[in-house]
Amino acid sequence: MKDAAENAAEGAAEMADAVKRKAGEAGGKADRAISSMGNKISETAESIRRRAPEKGPLGSTAETVADRLEAGGHYLSEHGLSDIAHDISDLIRKHPTRSMWIGIGLGVLIGGAVLSRRASA
């Protein structure tokens, strides 16, 4: 009986290690994907800067958009999934009502898109 309990405990420990390893691999893949997305967003910002007029209202707007895209791209490139999740939870804690309304709005948008897709199918 004691041997069976020890074997079960060892098996559970090995399974837990395997799950941790797989989760770490998945987290690493997600971090690389987010970093790659950040690099592409930064490249898009640079492309906007190259193609936009240098002066005037359109040039000013394009520069503002490019600045924001570049900042977002750098953030994604430099932070991992756990950092992003931590930052989002901090924002939710600081602005719970606004977060709730944003969540409701996203739910309505996603729900409407799903319903319209089902209706057209």
pLDDT digits (tens, 9 = 90+) for 100-120: 999 999 999 999 988 888 888
* Same domain, residue pair 106 and 66: no
Last residue of a domain, one of 62, 79, 96: 79
| 2: DSSP letter | H
Question: What's the number of domains the chain is made of?
Answer: 2
* Same domain, residue pair 17 and 58: yes
* Same domain, residue pair 22 and 51: yes
Per the listing, tokens 């900042």 go with: 71
Q: What percent of the chain has pLDDT over 90?
A: 43
The boundaries of the domain holding residue 66 are 1-79
Yes or no: say if 51 and 76 are a contact pair by the CB < 8 Å rule: no
Yes or no: say if 2 and 33 are a contact pair by the CB < 8 Å rule: no
- Both tokens of 47, joined, read 């492309």
* Same domain, residue pair 67 and 89: no
**What are the pLDDT digits (tens) for 15-35?**
766 666 766 666 678 888 888
This prediction has a pTM of: 0.59
* Same domain, residue pair 57 and 88: no
